């Protein structure tokens, strides 16, 4: 009997260890159920568009064709106890289905690895071979991915709760059809007054042309939909169904590809559906400041009038109930200004107020501290500070308070960001960028290094709505509702000043010492930049140093002087020693940041010896940013036999490289802003050598959208190469794209160019 | 008897490991389920007779215990995705109370051991590795050997009596049947199993001139989950 029991124990142990290496019953069942569900889902498809196996002849030269594409947005109310948020709420689901015919090796490579979101079980990848053979991809072989999910596979909802996996599709060939479907689920807890989803800019254009495209909305009856169809996207249709829920769809067939074009503003040119879902239990309770519910008895709305916009503005911009934060901002500025500069001109007051707010904008005001200098001391550190910033609305509201307190005329502007194209694309009030106009001066929200006259790049040249005329209302204190009552709104349309390339310039002067023996280049360079070309990074590393002295000139706020002690105690000496150590470490860290920045520009940096910020460029009177830098660079010089090659083009850092597939373009070109670069590279030809290849560097191209002018000047063994490169227009039609390519290719060619030092 | 039974079980289970090593998951035939019976069992043993009949007998032990039970099931035949004819070896070990009315106090002993073997028909969830059903059940018949209590506590007099009664009163072999109900958890991560086992065996003993009729009983309700 003892033997028998021993055998049993051995069996159980052995059995247990074998099981541990195998899949569990639950895993096997899940996998089998998932596969059964995949096949059922695929088999249940009745839409004939998803049975098509051939693409149109007109798109035979394309990498791939989307034979059919369906994108579904669903919302389902969940009550407590049902699957979904623990306290009830809304489950938002997005399902993507594509049937792709692969027509070249690029498409085969792209779809040989498909990413999909994990949070929905209704998914499959199915490959149909040209001979009709069907292959189901084993989704259980997928691996989770955290970063670098290609935008192509990302859902429109950018919730951070959506997790992705990727799976390899083996043995794909040209002519195969990949039919895949996946989805994502996001849960939202209930709120009595409603839950407003972020606006989704749903691009109806794909990287590949689409034969059949359908966008579907299956919404719970308490979910409302507001849409804007742009650029010929067609109108959303409502289906009358008896199930009590709301069903809409948008059909788009024969859509040309956009192929992920560089410098593209999809909302401006692509067929696009901008939409917003709003969930509210009781429509009458809904009181969101920025978004628009459909009118009564309507499930869907597609237009928003100016009147509606203004009806919401007073609550949206918080004029009636300025928050503690806004009062803190404005009150602080007013108090300090009056304390330190009791008699300044209005213009000067505005200027100083702006810089005061800019200072405050660097950190959160929620923990408002009247000891201003204590807060600012946080910035005296090596790493670039985090910009918590100040919201546009808070900024504008604070200015309204300041204007009211001082009895100034003011107007409020609502800028339409360039990426939206125009006012017609606006879907919610949050699309606007509000700003204030005082004394005909437009004042925009501040960034770390913005100056008062700055026009934000995304508003430059764009359309705006100017609202009302501010009439001083001194009696109303901080309750600002009076001026902006609905009936007092007066509209006018305006345009914000554009930024020309002259306003955004980057000028770099290199003085190089070539060391052929070490094959290193010692670089002493100085940079003068203006407008949007001011390097944020270099500046931010250094701007915190002695901030008070610099900011004093702008704001007039002086630091309280500490009384000097005659005799230093041992404690003070120790403190100073520690401080000195910290400062030294800070200085090293700063140089390390600069080195990283240079390396990011594809330079092999041996060391950065010095960096000095001469002028921060943060004030109206001195808007240029100037710095000098000394560094030693490796790998620019290489020995070839008795001669040396010098990669002179690489000195100016990485340049835009246009790939072959980018040559043809469907859409217009939209750069951030027009800008001008100029470089001067000076070096002395090493003794005993002559330089060859200099003349080949010279180029001169000038066309309506861009220019490049490279000149070489030499005198004795002194050489200077002057490069002037300009992006003249911030946006232009695709007809001019070849002009742009011409210049970019020329810059690329310079970047790859070399000169030779031969024994003389 | 017990020795032969054990050898049979071992032989069958070792045969089961042959299927166990196959690569094809769906062909796997071995299933393991771990059960707990939180004092939801009742065992009644046989009357214990003293070797010297004139000294009488000891009343049967009755036990309620916290049982730990492991079901080792081997599917002998799997005619489809959802059905199987299986052999189940279901040893259970318990800690709890055993009482005997002849003794002076409650808690006469503690610990017990059950070894039932069933021939069972299984259907639905968890019947085979291939089944996709949400729910399943099993019904089986077999025999059980049980032994209780492991330890007898009591005063000196009773211990003497126990010593006399040990072999006859503490072990039983009886026919049992079992019914089980299986259900997958909502997410499909766990297979929960509810199991009822019941068996009894009437017997009669002659004590002196008296004939006593009684029955051996084994009942348990267990809740378990599969970790196969």
Q: Do B6 and A5 touch (CB under 8 A)?
A: yes
CB of A85 within 8 A of CB of A78? yes
Cα A104 from Cα A592, distance rounded (Å): 45
Residues A96/A101/A106/A110 CA torsion (nearest 10 deg): 30
Average pLDDT over chain A, rounded to whole?
Answer: 80
Mean predicted confidence (pLDDT) in B179-200 = 92
Q: Please indicate whether, in this complex, the C-beta atoms of A33 and B191 are within 8 angstroms of each other.
A: no
| pLDDT surpasses 90 at A59 | yes
Structure tokens at A117: 């979101």
Three-class HEC string of B132-181: CCCEEEEEEEEEEEEECCCEECCCHHHHHHHHHHHHHHHEEEEEEEEEEE
- For residue A279, name the pLDDT band (cuts at 50, 70, 90): confident
pLDDT tens track for B72-94: 999 999 998 899 999 999 999 99
> Which pLDDT does position A383 carry in this prediction?
34
Residues of B in contact with A35 (CB under 8 A): none
Cβ-based interface (< 8 Å): residues of B facing A: 2-3, 6-7, 9-10, 13-14, 17, 20-21, 25-26, 28, 30-32, 70, 72, 91, 126, 129-132, 184, 186, 188-191, 226-228
Residue A354: what are its φ and ψ, rounded to 5°? -60, -50
Q: What is the pLDDT of residue A18?
A: 46
Can you tell me the distance from the alpha carbon of B202 to that of B72, in angstroms, rounded to the nearest whole number? Answer: 29
pLDDT > 90 fraction of chain B, expressed in percent and rounded: 40
Q: Residue A23 and residue B226: Cβ atoms within 8 Å?
A: no
**pLDDT band with cut points at 50, 70 and 90 for residue A259:** low
What is the pTM (predicted TM-score) of this model?
0.73
Q: Which two tokens stand for residue A654?
A: 């990485």
Nearest to B13 among A5, A11, A22 (CB): A11
Name which of A8, A12, A22 is nearest B25 (Cβ-Cβ). A22
Nearest to A206 by CA among A666, A738, A656: A666
pLDDT of residue A493: 75
In 3D space, the residue among A500, A456, A506, A727 whose CA is nearest the CA of residue A624 turns out to be A506
**A705/A728 Cα distance (integer angstroms):** 5
Min distance B121 CA to chain A CA atoms (Å): 19
Packed helices A324-340 and A392-406: angle between N→C axes, nearest 10 degrees? 50
Is A415 in contact with A432 (CB distance < 8 Å)? yes
Residue A499, token pair as written in the block: 């930024």
Per-residue pLDDT of A606-656, as tens digits, reads 999 988 888 888 888 888 989 899 999 999 999 999 999 999 999 999 899
Band of residue A103 on the pLDDT scale cut at 50, 70, 90: very high
Statement: residue B152 has pLDDT above 80: no
Contacts for A673 with CB less than 8 Å, ≥ 6 apart: A457, A460, A499, A504, A531, A532, A730
Mean pLDDT of A132-137: 92
Percentage with pLDDT > 70 across chain B: 76
A96: its two tokens: 């993507």
Q: Is the pLDDT of residue A588 over 90?
A: no
CA dihedral A149, A154, A158, A164 (to 10 degrees): -60
What token pair was written down for A73? 């947005």
Q: For residue B63, what pLDDT is reported?
A: 85
Q: Give the residue, A738 or A346, on which the prediction is more confident.
A: A738
Q: Which of B7, B26, B130 sits opposite A4 (nearest CB)?
A: B7
Residue A192 has pLDDT above 60, yes or no: no
**pLDDT, tens digit, 9 for 90 and up, residues A363-380:** 433 333 333 334 333 433
What's the rounded Cα separation, in Å, for the pair A672 and A433?
17
Min Cα–Cα distance to chain A from B11, Å: 9
Burial of A705 (0-12, 13-18, 19+ CB in 10 A): buried
> Which residues from B are below 8 Å from A18, CB to CB?
17, 20-21
Interchain CB distance below 8 Å, B3 and A4:
yes
Tell me how far apart the alpha carbons of residues A706 and A587 are, in angstroms, rounded to a whole number: 39
Residues 6+ apart with CB under 8 A from A696: A753
Instruction: Look at residue A207 and tell me whether its pLDDT is greater than 80.
Output: yes
**Residue B18 predicted with pLDDT over 60:** no
pLDDT of residue A34: 80
Average pLDDT over residues A477-482: 35
Nearest CA of chain A to the CA of B44: how many Å?
24
Q: Which residues of A touch B30 (CB under 8 A)?
A: 15, 19
Average pLDDT over residues A481-489: 42
DSSP category for residue A561: P
**Candidate from B32, B91, B191 with C-beta closest to A19:** B32
What are the tokens at B72?
A: 């080792």
**Angle, CA of A556, A562 and A563, to the nearest 5°:** 135
Shortest CB distance from A28 goes to which of B72, B91, B129?
B129
Q: How far is A32 from chain B (nearest CA, A)?
A: 7
User: Are A630 and A601 in contact, with CB atoms under 8 Å apart?
Assistant: no
Q: Evaluate if residue A425 carries a pLDDT over 90.
A: no
What is the C-alpha to C-alpha distance for residues A39 and A33, in angstroms, rounded to an integer? 10
Q: pLDDT at residue A382 above 60?
A: no
Task: Identify the band that residue A570 occupies on the pLDDT scale cut at 50, 70 and 90.
Answer: confident
pLDDT at B165: 53
User: For position A76, what pLDDT does the model report?
Assistant: 85
Contact check, Cβ <8 Å, A14/B7: no
The pLDDT tens digits for B154-174 are 654 555 555 545 556 788 899
Q: What is the mean pLDDT of residues A49-65?
A: 94
Count CB neighbours of A49 within 10 A: 16
Option in A19, A29, A83 nearest B188 (CB): A29
- A11 closest CB neighbour out of B10, B188, B190: B10
Residue A37 neighbours by CB under 8 Å, 6+ apart: A121, A122
Q: What does the pLDDT read at residue B142?
A: 97
| ipTM tops 0.90 | no
Percent of chain A with pLDDT over 70: 77
Q: Higher confidence at residue A473 or residue A206?
A: A206
Instruction: Judge whether residue A230 has pLDDT over 80.
Output: yes
- Contacts across the A-B interface (CB distance below 8 Å): 69
Contact A563, A659 (CB under 8 A): no
**CB-based contact B32 A18, cutoff 8 Å:** no
Q: Are B177 and B199 in contact (CB under 8 A)?
A: yes
CB atoms A19 and B10 under 8 Å: no
- d(CA B73, nearest CA chain A) in Å: 11
Place of tokens 């950018």: A158
- pLDDT at position A484: 41
Nearest residue to A111 via CA among A96, A100, A95, A122:
A100
Number of neighbours of residue A291 by Cβ within 10 angstroms: 22
Which range, of A59-68, A132-141, A508-517, A568-577, averages the lowest pLDDT?
A: A568-577
- In A, minimum Cα distance to B31 occurs at A25
DSSP-assigned states of every residue in A47-86: -GGGG-----GGGTTSSEEEEEEEEEEEEEEE-TTSSSST
Which residues in chain A touch residue B228, judged by CB atoms under 8 angstroms apart? 19, 24-25
CA distance to partner chain A, nearest, from residue B7 (Å): 6
Residue B127 has pLDDT above 80, yes or no: yes
Which of A342-351, A731-740, B97-106 comes out lowest in average pLDDT?
B97-106
pLDDT band at A285 (very low <50, low <70, confident <90, very high): low
Map residue A222 onto helix, strand or coil.
coil
Query: Where is pLDDT greater, at A437 or A584?
Result: A437
Q: What is the model's pLDDT at position A54?
A: 93
């Amino acid at each position: 009997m003892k033997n028998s029991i021993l055998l049993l124990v051995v069996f159980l142990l052995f059995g247990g260890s074998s099981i541990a290496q195998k899949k569990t019953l639950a895993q096997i069942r899940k996998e089998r159920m998932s596969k059964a569900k995949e096949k059922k889902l695929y088999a249940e498809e009745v839409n004939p568009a998803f049975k098509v196996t051939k693409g149109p002849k007109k798109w035979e030269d394309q990498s791939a064709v989307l034979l059919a594409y369906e994108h579904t947005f669903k919302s389902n109310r969940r009550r407590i106890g049902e699957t979904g948020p623990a306290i009830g709420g809304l489950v938002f689901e997005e399902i993507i289905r594509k049937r792709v015919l692969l027509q070249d090796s690029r498409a085969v490579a792209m779809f040989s690895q498909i990413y999909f979101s994990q949070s929905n079980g209704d998914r499959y990848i199915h490959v149909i071979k040209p001979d009709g053979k069907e292959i189901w991809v084993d989704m259980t072989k997928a691996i989770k991915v955290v970063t670098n999910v290609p935008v192509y596979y990302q859902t429109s909802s950018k919730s951070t709760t959506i997790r992705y996996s990727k799976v390899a599709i083996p043995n794909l060939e040209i002519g195969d059809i990949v039919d895949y479907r996946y989805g994502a689920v996001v849960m939202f807890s209930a709120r009595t007054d409603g839950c407003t989803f972020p606006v989704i800019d749903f691009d109806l254009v794909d990287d590949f042309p689409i034969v059949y495209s359908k966008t579907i909305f299956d919404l719970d009856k308490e979910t409302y939909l507001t849409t804007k169809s742009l650029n010929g996207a067609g109108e959303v249709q409502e289906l009358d169904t008896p199930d009590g829920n709301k069903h809409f769809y948008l059909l788009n067939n024969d859509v040309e590809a956009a192929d992920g074009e560089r410098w593209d503003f999809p909302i401006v040119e692509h067929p696009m559906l901008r939409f917003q879902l709003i969930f509210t239990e009781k429509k009458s309770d809904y009181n969101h400041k920025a978004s628009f519910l459909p009118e009564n008895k309507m499930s869907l709305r597609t237009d928003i009038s100016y009147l509606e916009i203004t009806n919401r503005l007073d609550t949206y911009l918080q004029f009636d109930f300025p928050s503690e934060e806004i009062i803190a901002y404005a009150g602080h500025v007013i108090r300090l200004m009056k304390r330190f500069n009791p008699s300044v001109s209005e213009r000067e007051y505005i200027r100083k107020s702006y810089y005061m707010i800019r200072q405050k904008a660097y950190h959160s005001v929620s923990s408002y501290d009247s000891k201003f200098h204590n807060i600012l001391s946080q910035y005296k550190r090596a790493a670039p500070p985090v910009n918590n910033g100040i919201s546009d609305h808070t900024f504008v509201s604070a200015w309204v308070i300041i204007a009211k307190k001082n009895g100034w005329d003011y107007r409020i502007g609502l800028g339409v960001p360039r990426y939206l194209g125009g006012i017609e694309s606006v879907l919610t009030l949050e699309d606007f960028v509000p700003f204030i106009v005082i004394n005909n001066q437009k004042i925009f929200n501040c960034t770390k290094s913005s100056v008062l006259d700055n026009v934000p790049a995304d508003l430059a040249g764009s359309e705006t709505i100017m609202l009302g005329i501010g009439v001083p209302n001194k009696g109303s204190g901080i309750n600002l509702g009076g001026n902006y009552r609905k009936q007092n709104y007066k509209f006018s349309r305006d345009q914000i000043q554009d930024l020309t390339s002259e306003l955004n310039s980057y000028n770099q002067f290199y003085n190089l010492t070539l060391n052929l023996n070490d094959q290193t280049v010692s670089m002493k360079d100085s940079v003068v930049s203006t407008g949007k070309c001011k390097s944020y990074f270099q500046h931010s590393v250094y701007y915190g140093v002695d901030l008070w002295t610099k900011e004093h000139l702008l704001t007039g706020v002086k630091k309280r002087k500490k009384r000097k002690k005659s005799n230093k105690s041992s404690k003070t000496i120790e403190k100073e020693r520690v401080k000195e150590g910290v400062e030294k470490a800070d200085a090293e860290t700063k140089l390390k940041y600069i080195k990283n920045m240079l390396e990011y520009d594809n330079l092999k940096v041996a060391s950065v010896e010095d960096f000095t910020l001469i002028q921060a460029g943060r004030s109206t009177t001195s808007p240029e940013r100037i710095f000098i830098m000394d560094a030693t660079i490796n790998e620019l010089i290489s020995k070839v036999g008795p001669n040396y090659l010098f990669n002179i083009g690489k000195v100016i850092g990485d340049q835009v490289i246009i790939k072959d597939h980018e040559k043809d373009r469907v859409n217009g070109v939209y750069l951030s802003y027009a800008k001008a670069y100029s470089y001067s590279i000076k070096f002395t030809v090493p003794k005993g050598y002559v330089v060859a290849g200099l003349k080949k560097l010279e180029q001169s191209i000038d066309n309506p959208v861009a220019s490049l002018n490279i000149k070489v000047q030499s005198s004795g063994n002194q050489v200077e190469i002057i490069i002037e490169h300009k992006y003249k227009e911030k946006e232009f039609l695709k007809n001019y794209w070849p002009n742009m390519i011409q210049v970019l290719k020329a810059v690329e060619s310079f970047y790859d160019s070399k000169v030779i030092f031969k024994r003389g | 008897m017990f020795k032969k039974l054990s050898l049979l079980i071992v032989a069958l289970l070792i045969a089961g490991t042959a299927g166990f090593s196959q690569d094809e998951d769906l062909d796997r035939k071995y299933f393991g389920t771990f059960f707990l019976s939180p004092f939801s069992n009742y065992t009644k043993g046989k009357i214990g007779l003293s070797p010297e009949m004139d000294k009488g007998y000891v009343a049967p032990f009755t036990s309620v215990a916290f049982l730990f039970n492991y079901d080792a099931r081997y599917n002998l035949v799997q005619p489809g995705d959802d059905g199987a004819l299986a052999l189940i070896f279901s040893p259970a070990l318990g800690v709890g109370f055993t009482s005997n009315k002849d003794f002076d106090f409650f808690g006469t002993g503690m610990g017990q051991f059950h070894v039932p073997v069933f021939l069972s028909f299984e259907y639905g969830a968890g019947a085979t590795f291939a089944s996709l059903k949400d729910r399943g059940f099993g019904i089986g018949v077999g025999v059980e050997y049980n032994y209780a209590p492991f330890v007898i506590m009591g005063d000196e007099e009773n211990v003497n009596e126990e010593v006399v009664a040990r072999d006859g009163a503490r072990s039983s072999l009886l026919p049992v049947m079992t019914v089980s109900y299986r259900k997958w958890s909502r997410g499909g991560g766990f297979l929960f199993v509810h199991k009822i086992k019941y068996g009894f065996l009437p017997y009669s003993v002659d004590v002196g001139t008296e004939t006593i009729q009684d029955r051996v009983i084994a009942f348990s309700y267990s809740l378990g989950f599969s970790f196969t």
